[in-house]
Structure 1
Amino acid sequence: MRFFLAVFLTLWLVLPGVAQGVDPDWKALSERTESVLESGDASAGALTALRGELADWRARFQEAQTANAARIETLTAQIEAIGPPPEEGETEPPGIGIQRSELNRRLEELRAPVREAQASFTAADGLISEVDRLLEANRAAQLLSKAPAPVNPVNWPPTVAAIASWLKAFGQELYAPFATPTARAVWQARGGELGLLVLVAILLLWRSGVWLGKLRDRVALHEADSAVARVILLTISVVRLILPVAGLFAVVRILQLMGAEGLRVDAATTLLPLMGFTILMARWLSLQALPMRETAQAFLPVSPARRPAARFYALMLGILLAGAMAVEVITQTANDPVVSNAVAHLVLLVIAGINLFRMGKLFLSEGEAARADDDDGGGGFWAQVLRLIGRGLILVGVLSPLVAAVGYVNLANAALWPAALSLALIMFIGILQGFAFDLYAAAMRRPDTGRDALLPTLVGFVLALLSLPLFALIWGVLPSTLREWWTKFQLGFDFGESRISPGSFLTLALVFLVGYLMVRLLKGVLRTSVLPKTKLDTGGTNAILSGTGYIGITIAILMAVTAAGIDLSGLAIVAGALSVGVGFGLQTIVQNFVSGIILLIERPIKLGDWVVVQASGVEGFVREISVRSTRIETFDRQDMIVPNADLISGVVTNYTLNNASGRVVLTLGVAYGSDTERVERILQEVAEEHPMVILNPPPLVTFDGFGTNGLDFTVRVVLRDILFKVVVASELNHAIAKRFKAEGLEHPLPRRDVLLRNPEALQPEGPPST
């Protein structure tokens, strides 16, 4: 009965997926896609729409691959618990074999829809790749298409006539609401709304700039160089950019309410806000990146004398780009759109090329001047960027008009305008980065740290990364291609039996971060609340804290890897190969690592100990013990990094291992003829009177013998704290000298006996004088 119940439940779970089979809609879509790919005559819009459908199905198949994952995992664990089938010649209980067969059968039934989804996912992914290749091929063919030579004078009159005809028709469509009484009655009935919109348009297009300009001048007059003022000024400039664009939308709404209609009016109402925004944005970028005030911080390091010319070139490029948008619409109504489009674009490309060439020359000269002024000859990072941008603008400004002149207008447009837009995007990113710096400085109220702080620097780095897709779109990468790249990035890559994806990395980072913070919290609790209440010394406390940190971080890493679903079993072969390298190339590092663990466990030295490393002669106090090395602070206040292997395998003198006491030995002498017992008694009294000298064991004074210059004595005393060894030795010497002087004892003086072999040679010749 249990067997039939299990079979029924399994079929109830599996049969819907099996019965579904291949979806007929997916089958029809795949067949239609294959036929389109074989013909290759679909338009770019049709291919893009087809690709969108394929991407939706691929997402469904990807989600279906995780169906019954929990149940599959449970059955796999049950099969592994039963164990492998018996080898040839072996037997097992009949019930185990039947159970294994039933579990395998149910597992295969559950895996069937997953495998089908995997196959369909692979097919959809392949079709998407083919569609992308076809789209790229069509775009390349469009870029390399050649139009009739626009420099041919024969093509100029039709182009001028087409533009004039379009403008004439546009004027007629604009005049249509005023042409008849009926048309006038339509918009006169909406007089109140129209009047309000006209007032709003005038205020937004004309007066908003005047009022905001006065506000900007007032802020700049009081504190123009502060971070808060720069944030306010940038905010005012953004509002000053947005309000005129809103005024253009009001103008479009006025035309719609007045009843102006027609193909050209519709195109104009669509283009007007876009063209206005393009021109205003070019002006705004030039003013922010190349400010008019000489003391203002400029994103592009151009000298104040050349900023007006650079701003003019940037504004002209914005106007010409808006004109290129209008040309695309106007020339479509010409008798020969291809010829008219080529001629009109050639005029714009020539003027834009001149502006790009001049701006490139300006940037190049500014970069060369900065390099000449720099002592290192480099001129800094931005000087190099200016030189690079200048050379690129000169190259594009010269080649694009020449390419367009021979008929490759699409290729010229695809090179010149992206170059101008890339420059605009670079300016925009720089302005945002400067805003982040100023906002941080204003929030922290420390204007001197805004440019050097880490947080705004990271914000600028993130902005630069986020701009990469925009640069790709500017230079012609299709949005579908970008989405495909993002999809591949989200899918990740296979690592052994695991799949590494951005989600896995994010999970890994978050779990490890939480684990690391928990370890820090645990160490803080142990350091401040638990360990101070124990009888452990400093070395034991440090060993427990270090061990807790290493074990906790290891556990955090393992938990993060497990939570991310990364299977490390595939690293077994790699780890085996690396063990050979560890045995040879990393032998010293491993030795120091093991020695560090021994130091933390055995604790022959601890923090604060006074040690002497005999191998290297390093003497000082132990300040830090890590798993690879130990930091010793010498008496000269220098930090010496000693490998842990030297502390384990070599001889180390630890003055403060078990206790702080230690012995001081003083050697001295007295002159010959002194009472030795009296000297010994005086030295004993001086040693016992010092407060740092321990009386049990008592000081020991010995008469060592007869020296070359005097009688030799040695004083041996045990101190309460060996750290005062040098101080106590000096104080004892002072006390002994003072007592010797009071008792009349003399220190020995160097004495030499001179033996003469012929003393008669010293006698003078002749009789002695009377």
Structure 2
Amino acid sequence: MEFADYTRFIDNYFVQFLGLGAHAADIMVAVVILAVFAVLAWLAAYVLQEILPRFTVKTQTTLDDELVKALQGPVKLLVLLTGFALAIHSLEFGTLYFGTFDTIVTILYILLGAYLVSNVIHGLIQWYSNDIAPKTKSKLDDQLMPFLDKVDRIVIFTIALLMIFDRLGYQITPILASLGVAGIAVAFAAQETISNVFGAFSILTDRPFKVGDRVELSETEIGDVVDIGVRSTRIKTMDDKIIIMPNAVISKGKIINYSEPDQKVRFTIKVGISYKSDIDRAMQIMTDIAKGTQGVISNPVPRAYVVALSSYSIDLILHVWVNDYKLEFDVSDRIYREIIRRFAEENIEIPYPITTIIRS
């Protein structure tokens, strides 16, 4: 049975049992429909505002709270609009009036749909801001979320507006073409800014580093990340200078992160000894010094190697692992100082080039 059949059934009831005329019966049907849907709207609002929050507040996430909050306004309006549309349709108007009314109702449905989608996305952004963003050290997501919240509303209601124009019979192809041309013009004018924003998105999603990590972007650009913004990232170098790098440049380049997967790092101690010195003894002394130096970890163990036979020295290296990359210079300083002292005690010579001038 269609909706019109129900309304006719109710009309006949009012006419036969209440003695109302046809026009009065139509009005009574419309009033009943409005009353029923008003009650349904109140029930929907009560469930979303009073009942469901009692359950969502007990969960550990705020996602369900935000989604319930996002549905409250749109669902209530949707029920009321549906009741109003059905009530009007129960009245005996001409088809011309119904056609105009249906167009208006369709436009209102489109706007309500945009309102609903916008609210849901806003709820997801709020959930991320409340539950996820505080757990990250970066301020990037805190800056991006409000920006995304505004952008999604503009995009959603622009699409809704285009749908309304299409419903009203306007050709939206020229409008889309105009928007495309305008978008291209804006993109050319702000390509650097847009590139940096997309670079920020890349850093946010891929997370090659976070605030506090030590990174190497080139041989001369090594430091600790102090801030990740929408347009740029700030890095504090070893000599206490701040490098401001555009996110577009960072996202396209090679990044060495000394903090990942952990803060453990290996560095190399280089020493040269004379050809008269005991190689095995020198290598043993170097590994013993490393094992006894504070900050050096035992696994992997320090290892010494002969790497070259130079014109005046035997070149040795010592691979040392420390548990924190920030200790690299302190640990290497201790090891070098102790090597000089121990080599002097063991009569292991550290040679250096000498120039002899012979006068005739």
Looking at structure 2, the residues matched to 3 and 749 of structure 1 have their Cα atoms a distance apart, in angstroms, of 110
Query: Would you say 1:586 and 2:190 are equivalent positions?
Result: yes
Per chain length, whose mean CA-contact separation is higher, i.e. which structure has more relative contact order (CA < 8 Å, sep 6+)? 2
Q: 2:262 aligns with which of 659, 679, 687?
A: 659
For structure 1, list consecutive stretches of 5 or more residues without a partner in the other structure: 14-69, 80-98, 112-496, 498-511, 532-540, 763-770
Shift of 1:644: 1.6
Q: Count residues in correspondence.
A: 264
| Residue pairs, 1:564-643, within 5 angstroms | 568-569=161-162, 575-614=179-218, 617-643=220-246
Query: Would you say 1:8 and 2:33 are equivalent positions?
Result: no
Offset from partner CA, 1:482-511 (integer Å, 9 cap, x none): xxxxxxxxxxxxxxx9xxxxxxxxxxxxxx
The question of whether the paired residues in 1 share the 8 Å contact of 2:232 and 2:247 is answered with yes
User: Partner amino acid for 1:588?
Assistant: E
2:335 alignment partner, SS class = helix
Offset from partner CA, 1:34-81 (integer Å, 9 cap, x none): xxxxxxxxxxxxxxxxxxxxxxxxxxxxxxxxxxxx8799659x99xx
User: Partner amino acid for 2:97?
Assistant: R
Looking at structure 1, the residues matched to 24 and 239 of structure 2 have their Cα atoms a distance apart, in angstroms, of 80
The question of whether the paired residues in 1 share the 8 Å contact of 2:302 and 2:320 is answered with yes
| Residue pairs, 1:440-479, within 5 angstroms | none
Looking at structure 2, the residues matched to 12 and 561 of structure 1 have their Cα atoms a distance apart, in angstroms, of 41
Cα 1:589/1:692, change in 2 over 3 Å:
same
User: Percent identity over the alignment?
Assistant: 22
Cα 1:734/1:568, change in 2 over 3 Å:
farther
Looking at structure 2, the residues matched to 591 and 561 of structure 1 have their Cα atoms a distance apart, in angstroms, of 19
Cα 1:561/1:594, change in 2 over 3 Å:
closer
Looking at structure 1, the residues matched to 187 and 264 of structure 2 have their Cα atoms a distance apart, in angstroms, of 43
2:195 alignment partner, SS class = helix
Q: 2:352 aligns with which of 745, 749, 754?
A: 749
Looking at structure 2, the residues matched to 683 and 71 of structure 1 have their Cα atoms a distance apart, in angstroms, of 83
The question of whether the paired residues in 2 share the 8 Å contact of 1:10 and 1:106 is answered with no
Shift of 1:610: 0.9
2:210 alignment partner, SS class = coil
Q: 1:105 aligns with which of 89, 97, 101?
A: 97
Shift of 1:580: 1.2
Offset from partner CA, 1:134-167 (integer Å, 9 cap, x none): xxxxxxxxxxxxxxxxxxxxxxxxxxxxxxxxxx
Cα 1:596/1:692, change in 2 over 3 Å:
same
Higher helix share: 1
Looking at structure 1, the residues matched to 131 and 237 of structure 2 have their Cα atoms a distance apart, in angstroms, of 32
Offset from partner CA, 1:405-435 (integer Å, 9 cap, x none): xxxxxxxxxxxxxxxxxxxxxxxxxxxxxxx
* 2:343 matched residue in structure 1: 740
Looking at structure 2, the residues matched to 9 and 733 of structure 1 have their Cα atoms a distance apart, in angstroms, of 103
TM-score computed with the length of structure 2 as normaliser: 0.58
User: Partner amino acid for 2:245?
Assistant: V
Looking at structure 1, the residues matched to 256 and 350 of structure 2 have their Cα atoms a distance apart, in angstroms, of 34
Shift of 1:525: 6.3
2:248 alignment partner, SS class = helix
The question of whether the paired residues in 2 share the 8 Å contact of 1:704 and 1:712 is answered with yes
Q: 2:303 aligns with which of 700, 711, 714?
A: 700
| Residue pairs, 1:402-481, within 5 angstroms | none
Looking at structure 2, the residues matched to 730 and 660 of structure 1 have their Cα atoms a distance apart, in angstroms, of 19
1:713 alignment partner, SS class = strand
The question of whether the paired residues in 1 share the 8 Å contact of 2:129 and 2:145 is answered with no
2:277 alignment partner, SS class = coil
User: Partner amino acid for 2:206?
Assistant: E
* 2:320 matched residue in structure 1: 717
User: Partner amino acid for 1:609?
Assistant: D
Looking at structure 2, the residues matched to 109 and 591 of structure 1 have their Cα atoms a distance apart, in angstroms, of 46
Offset from partner CA, 1:450-495 (integer Å, 9 cap, x none): xxxxxxxxxxxxxxxxxxxxxxxxxxxxxxxxxxxxxxxxxxxxxx
Looking at structure 1, the residues matched to 100 and 348 of structure 2 have their Cα atoms a distance apart, in angstroms, of 107
Q: 1:687 aligns with which of 259, 283, 290?
A: 290
Looking at structure 2, the residues matched to 561 and 601 of structure 1 have their Cα atoms a distance apart, in angstroms, of 21
2:320 alignment partner, SS class = strand
| Residue pairs, 1:45-124, within 5 angstroms | 75=85, 104-106=96-98
* 1:730 matched residue in structure 2: 333
The question of whether the paired residues in 1 share the 8 Å contact of 2:133 and 2:141 is answered with no
The question of whether the paired residues in 1 share the 8 Å contact of 2:210 and 2:225 is answered with yes
Looking at structure 2, the residues matched to 108 and 669 of structure 1 have their Cα atoms a distance apart, in angstroms, of 94
Looking at structure 1, the residues matched to 280 and 151 of structure 2 have their Cα atoms a distance apart, in angstroms, of 73
Cα 1:653/1:10, change in 2 over 3 Å:
farther
Shift of 1:660: 0.8
Higher strand share: 2
Looking at structure 1, the residues matched to 101 and 261 of structure 2 have their Cα atoms a distance apart, in angstroms, of 71
The question of whether the paired residues in 2 share the 8 Å contact of 1:610 and 1:655 is answered with yes
User: Partner amino acid for 1:717?
Assistant: V
Shift of 1:591: 2.5
Looking at structure 1, the residues matched to 151 and 217 of structure 2 have their Cα atoms a distance apart, in angstroms, of 36
User: Partner amino acid for 1:724?
Assistant: L
1:659 alignment partner, SS class = coil
Shift of 1:736: 0.7
Looking at structure 2, the residues matched to 604 and 678 of structure 1 have their Cα atoms a distance apart, in angstroms, of 43
